[in-house]
A and B are shown apart, each in its own frame.
Chain A
Amino acid sequence: MTTSAISLAQAIAARTTTAAAATDAALSAITERDGELHAFLHVDADAARQAASAIDARIAAGETVGPLAGVPVAIKDNLVMTGVPTTCGSKILEGWRPPYTATVVERLIDAGAIPIGKTNLDEFAMGSSTENSAYGPSRNPIDPTKVPGGSSGGSAVAVAAGYVPVSLGSDTGGSIRQPAAFCGLIGYKPTYGHISRYGLVAFSSSLDQVGPFTTTVADSALVSEIIGGHDHRDSTSIDAPAPSLLEACGRGVAGLRVGLCSDLLDGADAVIVDRVRAAAAALEAAGATIVDLAIPELRLGLSAYYLLAPAEASSNLARYDGVRFGLREERDDVAAMNVATRTAGFGPEVKRRIMLGTYALSAGYYDAYYGQAQKTRRLITNALDAAYQGVDLLLGATTPTTAFGFGDKVADPLSMYLSDLFTIPSNLAGHPAMSVPFGTDSAGLPIGVQLLAPGRRDDLLFAAGAVLESEVSA
Chain B
Amino acid sequence: MSAWETIIGLEVHCELKTATKLFCGCPNMFGDEPNTNCCPVCLGLPGSLPVLNKGAVELAIRIGLALNCTVAPSTFHRKNYFYPDMPKDYQISQYDQPLNAGGWIDLPEGSRVGITRAHMEEDTGKSTHLGGTGRIHGADSSLIDYNRSGVPLVEIVSEPDMRSGVQARAYVAELRAILVAVGATDGRMEEGSMRVDANVSVRKPGDPFGTRCEIKNLNSLRSLQRAIEYEAARQIDLIEAGERVVQETRHFDEQTGRTGTMRSKEEATDYRYFPEPDLVPLNPSRAWIDEIRSNLAPLPKARREHLLAAVGEVTPALVDLVATVVDRDLDTLVSAAINAGAPAQLAIARAANELDADGVLPSPASFAGTCQLEASGRLSATQAKQVLAALLDEPHGDPAAIADRLGFVAMDDGALDTVLDAAIADHPSEWQRYCDGDDKLAQFFVGKVMAATKGKANGKAVIAAIAARRP
Residues of A within 8 A of B (CB): 78-80, 86, 88, 93, 96, 98-100, 102, 197-202, 204-206, 232-236, 311-312, 314-315, 318-319, 321, 323-325, 334-335, 338, 358, 361-363, 366, 370
With a CB–CB cut-off of 8 A, which chain B residues contact A86? Answer: 46-47
With a CB–CB cut-off of 8 A, which chain B residues contact A78? Answer: 47
- B297 contacts the other chain (CB 8 A): no
With a CB–CB cut-off of 8 A, which chain B residues contact A370? Answer: 274
Residues of B within 8 A of A (CB): 39-40, 43-52, 78, 80, 82, 84, 87-90, 142, 144, 270, 272-274, 277-280
- Closest residue of chain B to A312 (Cβ to Cβ) is B277
- CB <8 Å contact, B49 and A235: yes
With a CB–CB cut-off of 8 A, which chain B residues contact A335? Answer: 82
* Contact A236:B280 (CB < 8 A) given known A315-B274, A321-B82, A335-B82: yes
With a CB–CB cut-off of 8 A, which chain B residues contact A80? Answer: 45-47
With a CB–CB cut-off of 8 A, which chain B residues contact A315? Answer: 78, 80, 90, 272, 274
- CB <8 Å contact, B40 and A235: no
- CB <8 Å contact, B82 and A338: yes
- CB <8 Å contact, A324 and B46: no
Cα A363 to Cα B278 with chains together (Å): 22
Cα A233 to Cα B278 with chains together (Å): 11
- CB <8 Å contact, B47 and A233: no
Least CB distance, A308 to chain B, in whole angstroms: 9
Candidates B39, B82, B270, B277; contact of A205 at CB < 8 Å: B277
- CB <8 Å contact, A311 and B274: yes
- CB <8 Å contact, B142 and A197: no
Candidates A79, A234, A319; contact of B89 at CB < 8 Å: A319
With a CB–CB cut-off of 8 A, which chain A residues contact B52? Answer: 235
* Contact A334:B142 (CB < 8 A) given known A321-B84, A363-B270: yes
Q: Tell me the number of A-to-B contacts counted with CB atoms below 8 Å.
A: 101
Least CB distance, B108 to chain A, in whole angstroms: 42
Cα A180 to Cα B87 with chains together (Å): 36
- CB <8 Å contact, A98 and B272: no
- Closest residue of chain B to A370 (Cβ to Cβ) is B274
* Contact A362:B279 (CB < 8 A) given known A233-B51, A235-B51, A323-B84: no
- CB <8 Å contact, A234 and B46: no
- Closest residue of chain B to A237 (Cβ to Cβ) is B49
- Closest residue of chain A to B278 (Cβ to Cβ) is A205
- CB <8 Å contact, A318 and B90: yes
What secondary structure prevails in chain A residues at the interface with B? loop
Least CB distance, B49 to chain A, in whole angstroms: 5
With a CB–CB cut-off of 8 A, which chain A residues contact B45? Answer: 80, 98-100, 324-325
With a CB–CB cut-off of 8 A, which chain A residues contact B44? Answer: 319, 324
- CB <8 Å contact, B49 and A197: yes
* Contact A321:B46 (CB < 8 A) given known A235-B51, A315-B80, A370-B274: no
- CB <8 Å contact, B49 and A318: no
- CB <8 Å contact, A321 and B80: no
Which 5 pairs across A and B sit closest by C-beta, in order of nearness?
A318-B89, A206-B277, A361-B272, A205-B277, A201-B46
With a CB–CB cut-off of 8 A, which chain A residues contact B78? Answer: 315
Cα A366 to Cα B47 with chains together (Å): 26
* Contact A199:B47 (CB < 8 A) given known A99-B40, A315-B80, A319-B88: yes
Provide a sorted-by-A list of 28 A–B residue pairs whose CB atoms are within 8 angstroms.
Answer: A80-B45, A80-B46, A86-B46, A93-B46, A99-B45, A100-B45, A100-B48, A198-B49, A200-B47, A201-B46, A201-B47, A204-B277, A235-B52, A236-B280, A312-B274, A314-B272, A318-B90, A319-B44, A319-B46, A319-B88, A321-B89, A324-B43, A324-B87, A334-B84, A338-B82, A358-B272, A361-B274, A366-B272
Cα A314 to Cα B47 with chains together (Å): 15
- Closest residue of chain B to A363 (Cβ to Cβ) is B270
Least CB distance, B277 to chain A, in whole angstroms: 4
Least CB distance, B77 to chain A, in whole angstroms: 10
Cα A234 to Cα B44 with chains together (Å): 15
Among the interface residues B45, B47, B78, which one has the most CB atoms of the partner chain A within 10 A?
A: B47
- Closest residue of chain B to A321 (Cβ to Cβ) is B89
Least CB distance, B247 to chain A, in whole angstroms: 16
- CB <8 Å contact, B51 and A362: no
Given contacts A319-B44, A361-B80, 19 further A-B contacts (CB under 8 A): A79-B47, A88-B46, A93-B46, A102-B47, A201-B46, A205-B277, A235-B51, A236-B278, A315-B272, A315-B274, A318-B82, A318-B90, A319-B88, A323-B144, A324-B44, A334-B84, A334-B142, A363-B272, A366-B274
